[in-house]
Amino acid sequence: MFDLTRHPRLLKLLSWFDRASAIVQRRNAGRSESDRHQSTFYAKIWREAAATLGATITPLGGDVFEICLGEARTRVSQNMTSIDDMATSCVARTKPVIYGLLNQHGISTPRYRVFPIEDMAAGVAFLESIQGDCVVKPASGTGGGIGVTTGVRTRWQFARAAFAAAAHGDEVLIEEQAKGDDYRLLYLDGVLIDAVMRKPPTVTADGRASLLDLIRGANAERASRGAEVAQRLLTFDMDMKNTLAKQGYTLASVPPAGREVKVKTAINENVGDGNISARDLICEAVAAEGARASALAGVRLAGVDVIMSNPRVPLQESGGVILEVNSPPGYYWHYHKRDGVFPVALHVLRSLLHVPQSDEMCCLPSSAN
């Protein structure tokens, strides 16, 4: 097959085409409506948290709120707070630094390689040394699955994925794709306060519509109903293409009626019903590894992403790995899940306003969803 890694000019042209297509897709899919839903979600949970504590909350514009309780005050903007400083968040988003810190202290991470987009030889060598799929992502500066492509096996896929990732930073990271389920472990000052197993986004075929039409329909529902369904729209990207191809599909395919088709492997665009409470499943060893990871990253409020096949045994035993230490972590996974609500904003606000944590505030009933 034609080796794109040896033709940077053609790759650059293709990357510009990808970006233009993405812009058109975002406009057509109701992306601005999705953004408004996200703003509404965060405004709602901060207002609820303030009301629970008896604090006043004042909108300052642009998703910024000032929250006061007596002499204490703080400002928040969606999931951004002063609980962790900007330098800490930047370190957490520099994946090679985090992987290096974790590896130095014996914490399992995927095998990986970092390379500049101008010279992909090191990345190609790594790809061809792995007997399985790889993940390509920006090496730093992003979160939320931005620029991530899974299921990479060929040089062609690698080159396209690398340039997609390079749109978000000068360096690209390729890593061995871990096997298992995706878990988000949430820590506050080293204490595991919630855990969620996150299932990938899917659509259910009706035997008549193509996958393209099914995904467009799913996005229309997400845009109209907002956080009640999902926090984001499904993005048409290399991750979607690779995920469908591994099941023998393209966007033009019409699967049999009733078949559930996984449309993305990167987890960030799943639906709320795909998030399942897992705090009681996490064994002490895994919880301790996540706490160590958040401490090494220096993050007080940390969303630690773990891939593992069995959360009841240590990572080394199940072959599990820690993928990321997120700062600031998204709150959506903990509010919109099929079996209850964990009030992250309330716990964070207690910390910001120096109000002692209350054990009875750990969980809210599922009706709050």
Question: Using CA atoms, how far apart are residues 302 and 160, in angstroms rounded to an integer?
Answer: 31
> What are the boundaries of each domain within the chain?
201-264
Write the DSSP symbol of residue 323.
E
3-state secondary structure of 320: coil
Question: Using CA atoms, how far apart are residues 186 and 329, in angstroms rounded to an integer?
Answer: 8
Tell me the HSE value of 329 on the side-chain side, using a 13 A CA sphere: 27
pLDDT, one tens digit for every residue, the chain (369 residues):
556 666 566 666 665 655 555 555 545 555 688 889 999 999 999 999 999 999 999 999 999 999 999 999 999 999 999 999 999 999 999 999 999 999 999 999 999 999 998 889 999 999 999 999 999 999 998 888 889 999 999 999 999 999 889 888 889 999 999 999 999 999 999 999 999 999 999 999 999 999 999 999 999 999 999 988 999 999 999 999 999 999 999 999 999 999 999 999 999 999 999 999 999 999 999 999 999 999 999 999 999 999 999 999 999 999 999 999 999 999 999 999 999 899 999 999 999 999 987 654 444 433 333
Question: Using CA atoms, how far apart are residues 286 and 301, in angstroms rounded to an integer?
Answer: 17
Q: What pLDDT, on a 0 to 100 scale, did the predictor assign at position 75?
A: 98
Q: What pLDDT, on a 0 to 100 scale, did the predictor assign at position 365?
A: 37
Question: Using CA atoms, how far apart are residues 38 and 369, in angstroms rounded to an integer?
Answer: 15
Contact call for residues 166 and 172 (beta carbons, < 8 A):
yes
Q: Please choose, from the candidates 127, 135, 83, the residue with its C-alpha nearest in 3D space to the C-alpha of residue 109.
A: 135
Q: What pLDDT, on a 0 to 100 scale, did the predictor assign at position 362?
A: 47
357: phi > 0 → left, psi -120 to 50 → alpha, else beta; which?
A: beta
Q: Which tokens is 184 given?
A: 């988000």
The alpha-helical segments, DSSP class H, found in the chain are 8-28, 31-53, 86-92, 95-104, 121-129, 155-166, 211-225, 238-245, 284-297, 315-318, 332-335, 344-352
Contact call for residues 53 and 355 (beta carbons, < 8 A):
yes
Q: Distance from CA of residue 161 to its chain's centroid?
A: 17
Q: What pLDDT, on a 0 to 100 scale, did the predictor assign at position 357?
A: 78
Q: Distance from CA of residue 5 to its chain's centroid?
A: 28
Question: Using CA atoms, how far apart are residues 68 and 63, in angstroms rounded to an integer?
Answer: 16
Q: Which residues of 227-250 are buried (b: 16+ CB within 10 A; e: fewer)?
A: bebbbbbbbbbbbbbbbbeeeebe
Q: What pLDDT, on a 0 to 100 scale, did the predictor assign at position 20?
A: 54
Q: What pLDDT, on a 0 to 100 scale, did the predictor assign at position 92?
A: 94
Q: What pLDDT, on a 0 to 100 scale, did the predictor assign at position 34?
A: 82
Residue type, 87: A
Q: What is the pTM of this model?
A: 0.90
Q: What pLDDT, on a 0 to 100 scale, did the predictor assign at position 176?
A: 98
